[in-house]
């Protein structure tokens, strides 16, 4: 369990806590290129 303070009028007031609101999703091709780079480094 996590206790996350919220303030009236502040971000996410009245809603659920977002773990990573600036989350970026890559395309399948971008993920594959990243995986190739990791495999090459191993």
The tens digit of pLDDT for each residue in 1-42 reads 778 788 888 877 888 777 777 788 999 999 999 999 999 999
Query: Range of 4's domain?
Result: 1-42
pLDDT reported for residue 37: 97
Q: Based on the structure, what is the number of domains in the chain?
A: 1
Burial environment of residue 10 by CB neighbours within 10 A (0 to 12, 13 to 18, 19 or more): exposed
pLDDT reported for residue 30: 96
22-39 CB burial, b ≥16 within 10 A, e <16? eeeeeeeeeeeeeeeeee
pLDDT reported for residue 22: 79
């Amino acid at each position: 369990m996590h206790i996350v303070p919220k303030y009236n009028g502040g971000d996410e007031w009245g809603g659920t806590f977002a773990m990573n609101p600036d989350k970026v999703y890559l395309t399948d091709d971008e993920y594959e290129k990243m995986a190739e780079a990791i495999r090459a480094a191993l």
